[in-house]
Amino acid sequence: MARCFLATVCLLSLLEMVSSFTMHRKDNVAVYWGQKSSISLADACDNDNYNMIIMGFVTNYNTSVPNSLVLNLAGNCGEGMSPCSDLAKDITTCQSKGKAVTLSLGGGSLPPWEMITLNSDQEAKDFGNMMYNTFLGGSVDDPKRPFGSAVLDGFDLDIEQGSTDHFDVFIQTVRDASTQNHDSRWYYFTAAPQCPQLTGQPYGNLFSTTPFDALFVQFYNNDCGLDAWPESPWNFDAWNNWAENDAPNNGSVKVYIGAPAASGPGMAHYVDAQKLGDIILDTVRKYGSFGGVMLWDIYAAKSNDNFDAAVKKDLNESMIPKIGHLRRSVNVGDLLP
């Protein structure tokens, strides 16, 4: 009975390790959540296949328009900046399981375009301080915070329209606010460019001037998408070269394969789980910057025969060459005294 209990503890510990988030790993699965209400954040966090939940989106902000910040989580929260007490509880519960929960800025939309507009460095500083106080570790008792005292783990940029002018100042301001507040957390900054957008709009020179923790490169809706692999114009090698040589924090930034979790509108160049598994294995072996897979989105994954489970399995199996025979031969009994 004692051995059975210990075996259960070992298995639960291993599952927690697999589903928790650490940036340096190569087997993370990040997923976008929030644009439908059929899967709660609590249910998303109970899924051991996911390491990072990206809540989407903050869609609008313009300093010239009062109260212009818009948090759009579809039916999961009220309109604008309404209090979301249920989500606040889910966020802290999710983090207690070792998962990261971040908030994405931007997102795709139909005309008229919704955009986050920063017209000057001063506007970027104001925006950075406001976002730090509203969603991160500042002013946690402010009643205007939609998630109350819950503190998110960072921000993601999914800028589909406009530009990212002055976003470098926004990011640095958040970092500075954290330091000035003696905040012990490290807040993640990620971005989700489309695969042709290593240079040019909308990100401009942001990737050459500003350190990011990870990029979730969208290998879909473009000719360099997943179904081009392994031939050009598939271009993970260009992103890896940037990560290892040209990024301000080269050698530490991670590049994820961004993949649609099902076929359908806005998810062109989708590949099935078997082909994505082949791409993952090839990418893990070739590129040191590889950090895992980003899925758009959690609802598509569930509807597509739990696509996330196949992706996580492929990532786990891709790690086998890294630890050789230990991965293949170890059993729970070997871990017991």
Q: What value does the mean pLDDT take over residues 208-213?
A: 97
Range of the domain at 207: 23-335
Phi, psi (degrees; rounded to nearest 5) at 54: -105, 110
- Residue 79 domain flag: yes
CA distances from 154 to 101, 151, 214 (A): 7, 9, 12
- Residue 6 domain flag: no
Q: What value does the mean pLDDT take over residues 146-166?
A: 94
Residue 324, pLDDT > 80, answer no
Q: Tell me: the pLDDT tens digits for 176-186?
A: 999 999 999 99
Q: Specify the pLDDT at position 7.
A: 43
Residue 327, pLDDT > 60, answer no
Please, what is the average pLDDT of the chain?
Answer: 89
Question: Looking at 10-19, 95-104, 250-259, 277-286, which range is the least confident one?
Answer: 10-19
Q: Tell me: the pLDDT tens digits for 36-46?
A: 989 999 999 99
Q: Specify the pLDDT at position 109.
A: 62
- Residue 4 domain flag: no
Taking the CA atoms of the chain, what radius of gyration do you get in angstroms? 20
- How many percent of the chain have pLDDT more than 70? 88
Residue 12, pLDDT > 60, answer no
Q: Specify the pLDDT at position 90.
A: 97
CATH number of residue 124's parent domain: 3.20.20.80
- Residue 5 domain flag: no
Q: How far apart are CA 226 and CA 216, in angstroms?
A: 14
CA distances from 189 to 14, 26, 102, 170 (A): 27, 17, 9, 11
305 torsion bin: left (phi>0), alpha (psi -120 to 50), beta (else): left
Give 322's pLDDT tier (boundaries 50, 70, 90).
Answer: low
- Residue 32 domain flag: yes
CA distances from 79 to 11, 86, 113, 267, 291 (A): 42, 15, 18, 27, 34
Q: Tell me: the pLDDT tens digits for 120-137?
A: 999 999 999 999 999 999
**Residue 176 buriedness (CB in 10 A; 0-12 / 13-18 / 19+):** middle
The residue ranking higher by pLDDT, 330 or 258, is: 258
- Residue 173 domain flag: yes
Annotate 7-72 with DSSP letters as a single string: HHHHHHHHHHHHHS--TT-S-EEEEEE-S-SSS-HHHHHH-TT-SEEEEEEEEEEETTSTT--EE-
Torsion of CA 38, 301, 33, 29, to 10 degrees: 150
Q: Tell me: the pLDDT tens digits for 27-68?
A: 999 999 999 989 999 999 999 999 999 999 999 888 778 788
Q: Specify the pLDDT at position 321.
A: 56
Residues with catalytic annotation? Answer: 160
* DSSP, res 111: S
Give the total number of structural domains in the chain: 1
- Residue 82 domain flag: yes
Give 4's pLDDT tier (boundaries 50, 70, 90).
Answer: very low
Give 17's pLDDT tier (boundaries 50, 70, 90).
Answer: low
- Residue 15 domain flag: no
Token readout for 1 is 């009975």
Q: How far is CA 260 from the centre of its chain?
A: 14
Give 80's pLDDT tier (boundaries 50, 70, 90).
Answer: confident
